[in-house]
Structure 1
Amino acid sequence: MVLENFIVLEGIDGAGTTTQLNILKSKAAEFLFTAEPTSSPTGKFLRQILKGEIQLSNETAAYIFAADRNEHINGALKIEENTLVTGIREACANGKIVVSDRYLFSSLAYQSIGCAPEIPRALNQFFPLPKLLFFFDINPEDALKRISGREQKEIFEKIDFLEKTREEYKKVLSEYDGTEAGKGMKIIHIDAMLDREKISLQIEDEINRAYGGILNGKAKNI
């Protein structure tokens, strides 16, 4: 099942999804923006795990990510400081376009490394797909250079892990791209090393095509 008003940005750490989400915010004030892990209590707990402050088995983490995602999708609509916290399905049903920085594809890529792949797949099989999925592809070495200045490191920010994650992303996306499983969802591959503005324009073009020129009043052609 595809949520028609749902857009997702995906990629390994340092790929630039958050940067592009923030750029899009300046162009689409009428959209709702969100991220995973969420800013709900469950999401805040997950961020402690990602920072290495709490240690859990990979399998347990996969269950918690899925629980956070369920509230993100199916919980009551909640908006704090112009950010959607929970209730994506309700917002989309009300005609809002929702853009999320990460979604279930992150779990299928990241969690499939630390535990048996069938676990994250089973936990995420019933969540709806976005109408547009932007995958930001980048060499892990370049990604780590981008985030080297961050004060707070996360447990996944290691070259060997990100190399495996990048390959898992490609494997996961191949399962959806042009297949029955991904019917109704369009996957757009982004070269994350391109200039920020070029990437932004590419995203804008795809959104305009999908939603009838919603960002500027008319659809663009590349």
Structure 2
Amino acid sequence: MILKNFIVFEGIDGAGTSTQIKKLTAIDPINFVATSEPTAGATGKFLRQMLSGDFKVDEKTSAYLFAADRCEHIFGRGGVKELIDSGKIVISDRYFFSSLAYQSISCGEELPRLLNSPFPLPEILFYFEIDPEISLARVNARNEKKEIYEKLELQKKIAAQYEIVIKEYEKKSQETGIKIVRIDATDSIENISNTIKKYFR
């Protein structure tokens, strides 16, 4: 099922999704609402602590937690579904495609696919393609504490898994109705922004 007016940005760490979401929502801050995963809710805060390396949980536990946080993100009070029903266009930084890429590396493909199968597809998925070495250099330039996935070898594996996932959904796009737009994340910020804006005219 496609959730109309739900837009998702995906890519490995440092691909530039957050920057482009800020630019897009600035066009119409009343009708465009930005969200992200993990969310700002209780489960999302717990996940961000985990991602920062404050503590460890079993990889399967992590997969369940991401799915629980996603359920609140979509169906919870003030969530994506409610916002869309009120006439908003919701733009999310990450969605279940991230789980299919990131968590499949650590706990296999079966569990993330099972847990995320009930969630609706976005109307548009913007996938930011970038070499992991370039994206990780951007992450390093932030001079911030790294998350547990922000290691070159892991990012290479995640990028490869992302490609598998995106190709799968591209093949099913006519059947499902999802529109997938590949973005060259090494292009200039303005060029990327102009490409994205074309889908909102």
Which bracket does the TM-score occupy, shorter chain normalised? Answer: over 0.9
Which residue of structure 1 aligns with residue 135 of structure 2?
143
- Residue 181 of structure 1 deviates from its aligned partner by 8.5
The one-letter code of the counterpart of 1:201 is N
Taking only aligned residues, the RMSD between alpha carbons, in angstroms, comes to: 1.2
Aligned position for 1:130:
122
CA distance 1:144–1:6, shift in 2 (3 Å): same
Q: Which runs of 5+ in 1 are unaligned?
A: 78-86, 214-222
Q: Does 1:163 align with 2:156?
A: yes
Deviation at 1:182, TM superposition (A): 6.0
Runs of 4+ in 1 over 3 A off after TM superposition: none
Check 1:173–1:118 CA distance in 2 against 1; reply closer, same or farther (3 A cut). Answer: same
Partner of 1:2: 2
CA displacement at 1:11 relative to structure 2: 0.1
- Which residue is equivalent to 2:38? 37
Normalised by the length of structure 1, the TM-score is 0.87
1:189 alignment partner, one of 154, 160, 182: 182
What residue in structure 2 maps to residue 24 of structure 1? 24
- Residues of 2 paired with 1:108 and 1:178: CA distance? 16
The Cα of 1:178 is off from its aligned counterpart by 3.4
Indicate the SS of the match to 2:100.
helix
| Between structures 1 and 2, the one with greater helix share | 2
Residue 166 of structure 2 is matched in structure 1 by 173
Separation in 1, partners of 2:196, 2:153: 29
Give the drift of 1:151: 1.6
Match of 1:154 among 138, 147, 151: 147
Task: State the match for 1:90 in structure 2.
Answer: 82
Q: Is the 8 A contact 1:33 1:100 kept in 2?
A: yes
Identity of aligned residues (%): 51
Number of aligned residues: 199
Out of 182-191 and 161-170, give the one that drifted further. 182-191
Counterpart of 2:196 in structure 1: which amino acid? I
CA contact 2:52–2:148 (8 Å) conserved in 1: yes
CA deviation string 1:114-149 (max 9, x = no partner): 002100000000100100000000000000110103
In the TM superposition, 1:44-123 aligns within 5 A as 44-77=45-78, 87-123=79-115
Distance 2:127 2:113 in 1: 19
Gaps spanning 5+ residues in structure 2: where?
A: none
